Every structure is written in structure tokens, then in C-alpha cells.
Amino acid sequence: MAFGSFDQKNNSNHMVSEINMVPLIDVMLVLLVIFIITAPLLAHSIKIDVPQVSSTPVTEDPKSIDLAIDANGDIFWNESPILEADLREMFVSHAKEVPQPEIRIRADADTRYEQLARVMAMAKGSGLKKLGFITSPGSRSQGGAATSAEGAVPAAPASPPAPAR
């Protein structure tokens, strides 16, 4: 801003050009105070003793048993034939294991539902908790509709597929 005098002694009509430093100094002092207050807060930390643990994962392999039922009603325990009468004893002996193995049922599309329900009831009655089904993705039932894991059990492929998770 330019300031001039009101007295007429000097008949000079020139302006005085000076920078007013007061607002600039005020702004700088405000910034200085803000930095003085906030600087200790940025460097403040709390010391905590965090417990140290080993990072080795638990290597417990879950045991699984493949139970296959073909169209004739024959039952296979891990690819070995077994009689239905001996099945309950096998279920009871494996139900006592810790952790319990997972029973994965793979049934042929032509397997009677009655036999499949009987095997599932035996497993549940023996105390087995983990029961799953192995299905073939994208397979079709005889009616032309796609089968699902919740619905019908598809035909068993020639080689056992990976377990459904």
C-alpha cells in the first residue's frame, strides 16, 4: 500500500511505496505456534511389549474316507469292497478318532436313494459329524437337467475326482 502525507509543506505529489510487513509477520507467528504445538504429537509413541510367537503353521492333515456306492448297491471303502453289515463297525471305530475323518460319499446316478439314505443314517448314528458328497461338475442327469451338490448325486467318473469343498 502507498501512504502519503496530508501536509502541504512538501508539494511533492509522489507516492511512498512500502510493503506492510505486519500481516505477513502475523501469519508467520501463527504458523510457528501451530508447528510448535503439533511437533511433539507427531513424535509421541507408546512402547508396548508384543508377545513373540513362532510362525510355524500347524500341519495337521485332515483324514478323509472315500465311500463309493455303485449302481448295483456295492459299497467301497477307500476303493476296497465292504459289506453293508461291516459298515457300521467301521463308522463307529472312526468316530472315536480325534480329529474325526471326513466321510466323502460318491454314488452312482442309478444308486437307489433308499440305500444312500441308509448309509448316511448309519454314519450319523455312529457319531460321525463330517459328511460330504463328491460330484462331477457339469454332468447331466437322465432327464437332461443339470445335477447339483444339494440335489441329485451324479454318476461316478472312472477316476475319482478331487473332493468338493
Assess contact for 65 and 104: CB atoms under 8 A: yes
Is 98 in the same domain as 37?
no
Q: Enumerate residues 6+ apart whose C-beta is below 8 A from 58.
A: none
Could you tell me if residue 52 is inside a domain? no
Q: Residue 109 has what DSSP assignment?
A: T
Kindly state whether residue 35 falls inside one of the protein's structural domains. Answer: yes
Question: Rounded to 5 degrees, what angle do the CA atoms 80, 81, 83 make?
Answer: 140
Instruction: Please check whether residues 82 and 147 belong to one and the same domain.
Output: yes
Q: Cα–Cα distance between 146 and 139 in angstroms, integer?
A: 6
As given in the structure block, the three cell numbers for residue 146 are 443339470
Q: Is 23 part of any domain?
A: yes
Give the model's pLDDT for residue 133.
Answer: 85
Here the cell at position 9 is 509543506
What pLDDT is attached to residue 155?
42
Name the pairing type of β-strands 102-107 and 80-82: unpaired
Whether 55 is covered by a domain: the verdict is: no
**Tally of domains in the chain:** 2
What grid cell was written down for 8?
502541504
Domain assignment present for residue 165? The answer is yes
pLDDT mean across residues, the chain: 76
Q: Does 121 share its domain with 160?
A: yes
In a domain, residue 5? The reply is no
Mean pLDDT of 3-23: 71
Assess whether pLDDT exceeds 80 at residue 62: no
Phi first, then psi: what are they for 121, rounded to 5°?
Answer: -65, -35
Of 36 and 2, the structure prediction assigns the larger pLDDT to: 36
106 and 157, same domain (yes or no): yes
Q: Are residues 89 and 129 in the same domain?
A: yes
Per residue in 26-40, pLDDT tens? 999 999 999 998 888
Domain that holds residue 26: 11-42
Whether residue 164 contacts residue 105, with contact meaning beta carbons closer than 8 Å, is answered with: no
pLDDT of 159: 45
